[in-house]
Amino acid sequence: MARISVDTGKCIGSAQCVLAAPDVFDQDDDGFVTVLDSTPSGEAEATARTASGICPAQAITVHD
Amino acid sequence: MSTDAAELVPFMLRRPGAPFPPPEYEEFRTKPGLVKAALPSGETVWLVTRHEEVRAVLTDPRISSNPTHEGFPRPSRTVGAPSADEVPGWFVSLDPPDHNRFRKALIPEFTVRRIRSLRPAVEEIVDRAIDQMLARGDTAELVEDFSLTVPSLVISSLLGVPKVDRDFFEEKTKVLVTLTSTDEERDKASEHLLRYINRLITIKSKRPGDDLISRLLQGGLLTPQELSGVSMLLLIAGHETTANNISLGVVTLLQQKQWIGDERMIEELLRYHSVADLVALRVAIEDVEIGGQLVRAGEGIVPLVAGANHDPEMFERPHEFDPSRSATGHVAFGYGVHQCLGQNLVRLEMDVAYRGLFRRIPTLEVAVPLEELRFKYDGVLFGLHALPVRW
Ligand code: HEM
């Protein structure tokens, strides 16, 4: 299991995380990232790591 | 480091007879540091071809998107990006923090949910374009009859252009993005469109509708003048790029039909063709080291997204079209704060376009031998000048 934190101040709403890890991330009405599951495990954890790696604004941190 | 003209490569290298990046990129990737290239003007720029370094350039705050900085690459008159001084609202040319207000105003219009809700409208546009092709016979020129039509109609519907004006809108935007248009034709079309958009903004401020322009006017984050520049940017950024992707995708999918209908093909098509190779132009505003190369303040940089997307360190067998790989992490839409705002709309348009074409015209085929296809080797965006098809 990992812990996820996001920096909404950096978020640019490209929604890469929502596409890569729809069980972990969502967008609010303003288009900014929200976290659905802040302690994902298994498959969800793997997708959260992918999302963190491709986020163009580098706004997602995965804490081990 | 020497800047001897004999050692400079030209800025725009030819792609060979397949949709791959210029073969020189492979050689560049193996060299330490970056490669210096000459623009037609004689100015020089640094070319970046490795995935890691393309991402580094596009996220470094010491590297700017603002064309008013000394040394910003100006490949040609029609290629050089306007600045936000010239066109208020042209936010792709702004750096943070000036860029933030525009991005913030626009992203609610491009969320995954909002874009999903556009599917029926995009389906109607695609269906109508196919109806018209079928009504005309059993051949078509796909670029003109379909690939350019669909994104133009989608953007006009997004902006809130009334249906009766969409033919006018489409006709003018085609002139704007067609490489063979003269500068004069292009200036005229651009003037007509701008005048039209300004009129539309005035109308929407009195009688708002359910569209992007009306919502942004009501949101009050942008001035009407900025909104006019934003509308032009959306139009230009989202038209030929999407059209080229759709056409190239049809050719690639017809060669490998087993992938038609497989959702994974979309990401791989974006990576494989990387049409916006030369789009993200930058300039260093402080000295910065990229991949071991010192780049001085005032030197232009061109991160080549096709180079990055065909970097074997990132994607194995990069020249193979293989949707079963994970193409995630490609930079076809750029990276950093300017990463394409319209990317989820593009994914939707590609999905609806291919579903529509291959379902309704199952016998679709390219009407000329592949060697005779005319690729845009000379454009800033890679694509096809024309795509004759039959069924
Ligand atoms: C396949 C189609 C497309 C491709 C390959 C593409 C590619 C790109 C790239 C590479 C950038 C980054 C430019 C930079 O960093 O300087 C970009 C930015 C942008 N794109 Fe796209 N694009 C496409 C379609 C669209 C569509 C359909 C729209 C709008 C409806 C759009 C709107 C924009 C905007 C507004 C920006 C600037 C974003 C910013 O500065 O924050 N694009 N695009």
* Closest CA to ligand 1's atom 17: B340
pLDDT tens, B234-267? Answer: 998 889 899 999 999 999 999 999 999 999 999 9
Closest chain B C-alpha to A15 CA, distance in angstroms? 7
Angle at B281 between CA B178 and CA B285, to 5 degrees: 155
A chain contacts of residue B110, beta-carbon cutoff 8 Å: 13, 15, 31
Q: Is A30 on the interface with B (CB under 8 A)?
A: yes
Instruction: Quickly tell me which residue has 């020497």 as its tokens.
Output: B2
Compute, in angstroms, the gap from residue A13 CA to the centroid of ligand 1: 13
Single-letter residue type at B270: L
A62 touches chain B (CB under 8 A): no
Can you point out the beta strands (E) in B185-275? none
Q: Is the peptide bond between B21 and the residue preceding it cis, with omega within 30 degrees of 0?
A: no
The shortest C-alpha distance from B305 to chain A (Å) reads 14
Q: Where are the domains of chain A?
A: 3-63
Task: State the Cα–Cα distance between residues A52 and A17, nearest whole angstrom.
Answer: 7
B97 touches chain A (CB under 8 A): no
CA distances, B18 to each of B15, B252, B369, B371 (Å): 7, 10, 13, 9
pTM: 0.95
* The ligand 1 atom nearest the CA atom of B103: 41
Domains of chain B: residue spans and CATH: 9-390 (1.10.630.10)
Q: Looking at the partner chain, which of A12, A16, A29 has a beta carbon nearest the beta carbon of B103?
A: A12
Task: Please tell me if residue B340 touches chain A, with a CB cutoff of 8 Å.
Answer: yes
CA of B303 to the centre of ligand 1 (A): 15
User: What pLDDT score does B1 carry?
Assistant: 44
Which among B94, B103, B215 is the top mutation candidate for probing chain A, defined by the most A β-carbons within 10 Å of its own β-carbon? B103
* Half-sphere exposure for B143 (CA within 13 Å, toward CB): 20
Per-residue pLDDT of chain A in tens (64 residues, 90 and over written 9): 899 999 999 999 999 999 999 999 999 999 999 999 999 999 999 999 999 999 999 999 999 8
Distance from the alpha carbon of residue B78 to the mean position of ligand 1, in angstroms: 17
Structure tokens at B196: 């039209």
Place of tokens 């950024």: B237
Q: At what angle do helices B166-177 and B149-159 cross, to 10 degrees?
A: 120
Contacts of B337 in chain A (CB under 8 A): 12, 56-57
Architecture of the domain whose range is A3-63: 2-Layer Sandwich (3.30)
Q: How far apart are CA B139 and CA B364, in angstroms?
A: 9
CA-based nearest distance A26→chain B, Å: 9
Q: How far is A25 from chain B (nearest CA, A)?
A: 12
The amino acid present at B367, given as its one-letter code, is A
User: Residue B195 and residue B191: Cα distance in Å, rounded?
Assistant: 6
Spell out the per-residue pLDDT of chain B, length 391, in tens.
444 445 788 877 877 766 778 889 999 999 999 999 998 788 899 999 999 999 999 999 999 999 999 999 987 655 556 788 888 999 999 999 999 999 999 999 999 999 999 999 999 999 999 999 999 999 999 999 999 999 999 999 999 999 899 888 888 888 877 767 788 888 898 899 999 999 999 999 999 999 999 999 999 999 999 999 999 999 988 898 999 999 999 999 999 999 999 999 999 999 999 999 988 999 999 999 999 999 999 999 999 999 999 999 999 999 999 999 999 999 999 999 999 999 999 999 999 999 999 999 999 999 999 989 988 877 778 899 999 999 9
How many Å lie between the centroid of ligand 1 and the Cα of residue B236?
9
Residue A8 contacts B, CB cutoff 8 Å? no
Distance CA B4, CA B170 (A): 46
CA separation for the pair B231, B193 (Å, rounded): 10
> How many angstroms separate the Cα of B145 from the Cα of each of A40, B136, B203, B247, B323?
47, 11, 31, 11, 27
- Pick B112's closest partner by Cβ from A15, A32, A57: A15
Pocket test for ligand 1, best of B213, B234, B248, B340 (most atoms within 8 A of CB): B340
Q: Which ligand 1 atom is at minimum distance from the Cα of B275?
A: 5
Residues of A in contact with B329 (CB under 8 A): 53-54
What's phi and psi for B173, nearest 5 deg? -70, -30
